Amino acid sequence: MTRDRVIAIVILGLAIVLGRVPLSAVQASLESEGRSRDAQVAREGDAITIEDPVLDEQVTLRASPTRIVSLTLASDVMLASLVSIDRVLGVTALVDDPSYSRAAGHYPASIPRVSASAEALLALTPDLVVLTGYSHPATARALVDAGVPVLRLPSGRTLDEVRASLVMLARAVGGEARASEALARFDRDRTRLERTRSETRPRALFLAAGGFTHGRGTLTHELLELAGLDNVAEERGLSGLSRIGAETVAASRPDVIVVAADDDEEAARAITQLAPGLEALLSHTRRIAIPSLEIESTSPDCLDAAVHLREAIASTEGTR
The highest-level CATH class for domain 203-318 is alpha beta
Lowest-pLDDT choice from 2-6, 34-38, 164-168, 191-195: 2-6
Residue 196 banded pLDDT, cuts 50, 70, 90: confident
Which residue type is seen at 36? S
**pLDDT digits over 239-266, tens only?**
999 988 778 888 888 999 898 887 667 6
Q: Are 255 and 286 in contact (CB under 8 A)?
A: yes
With CA atoms as reference, report the closest residue to 259 among 234, 228, 296.
296
**pLDDT digits over 143-155, tens only?**
999 999 999 999 8
Lowest-pLDDT choice from 100-109, 278-287, 294-303: 278-287
The dihedral built from the CA positions of residue 261, 111, 66 and 41, taken in this order, carries a sign that is positive
Superfamily of domain 37-188: Nitrogenase molybdenum iron protein domain (3.40.50.1980)
**Burial class of residue 107 (count of CB atoms within 10 Å of its CB; 0-12, 13-18, 19+):** buried
- pLDDT in the model for residue 13: 41
Give pTM, 2 decimals.
0.82
Residue 136's alpha-carbon distances to 15, 22, 23, 99, 161, in angstroms, are 12, 10, 8, 24, 19
Phi first, then psi: give them for residue 304, nearest 5 degrees.
-60, -30
